[in-house]
Amino acid sequence: MNKTVGEGVDFARQLKASAQGVDGVEVAIAPPYTALYAVQKEIKDSSIRLAAQNLFWEEKGAFTGEVSPLMLKELGCHYVIIGHSERRQFFGETDDSVNRKIRAALAQGLKPILCVGETLKEREEGKTFSVIERQVQGGLKELGAEAIQNLVVAYEPVWAIGTGKTATPEQAEEVHRFIREKLSHLYSKGMAERVRNPVRRERHPGERQQADG
């Protein structure tokens, strides 16, 4: 919940300039709902992809305050973040609701960015991998191999958000390997290798920058 429409457009303009000539990676920006349309207009002639921060699983209906996958698709969104740690922590997001949202996104041709990650207490208790396993399995419940070809899995440790702590590349890579192993068991090694684990740069108040691996 950062940046007004004008600030979002300005940020997108700066990002567009910085991303010129960058090869071998895909860049995406996920502004608040209110800035999606304006940011999309700013980046439309660039290689930058537009992402939304969340969605609801129904296409329409009496769900005041929610935004549907159809609405995001019309705005030109390519990706949508689902299961972000802050959604889980503050808004009651569950593995079941994450699964429903992923299904809704895929049905409309949006690519889900599934966020998984453990709290500091869970890490200190040695529960990192059991938490990640539960979140991956729950988020992908009853989804076929074809569906995960359009999936991104982002490791986002809750303990590294707003605490001043950051996950080291080694910690992130350890979890990435575990995620791929789990996907290999659920689907196949080939399918698991196609699922991407992104490097994320997030700007919060004070311009804190964080890499999730």
Residue 55, pLDDT score: 98
Task: Tell me the average pLDDT of the chain.
Answer: 90
Mean pLDDT of the 35-55 span: 97
User: What pLDDT is stored for residue 199 in this prediction?
Assistant: 53
Distances from the Cα of 107 to the Cα of 14, 45, 46, 67, 139, angstroms: 33, 26, 26, 15, 15
List residues bridging with 29 in a β-sheet: 50
> pLDDT by residue (tens digit) across 92-140?
999 999 999 999 999 999 999 999 999 989 999 999 999 999 999 999 9
Q: Are 204 and 212 in contact (CB under 8 A)?
A: no
Phi, psi (5° rounding) for residue 67? -125, 130
Give catalytic residue positions: 84, 156
Q: What is the pLDDT of residue 110?
A: 97
Q: What percent of the chain has pLDDT over 90?
A: 74
Which sign does the torsion angle of CA 50, 52, 57, 61 carry? negative
Which pLDDT belongs to residue 198?
Answer: 67
Of 25 and 35, the one with more pLDDT: 35
pLDDT band at 36 (very low <50, low <70, confident <90, very high): very high
Q: Mean per-residue pLDDT for 38-54?
A: 97
Please, are residues 13 and 42 in contact by the beta-carbon 8 Å criterion? yes
Task: Please tell me whether residue 84 adopts helix, strand or coil conformation.
Answer: coil
The pLDDT, as a whole number, for residue 196 is 76
Q: What pLDDT, on a 0 to 100 scale, did the predictor assign at position 170?
A: 92
pLDDT greater than 70 at residue 181? yes
Q: pLDDT tens digits, residue range 196-211?
A: 766 554 544 443 333 3
**Stretch 75-85: mean pLDDT, rounded?**
97
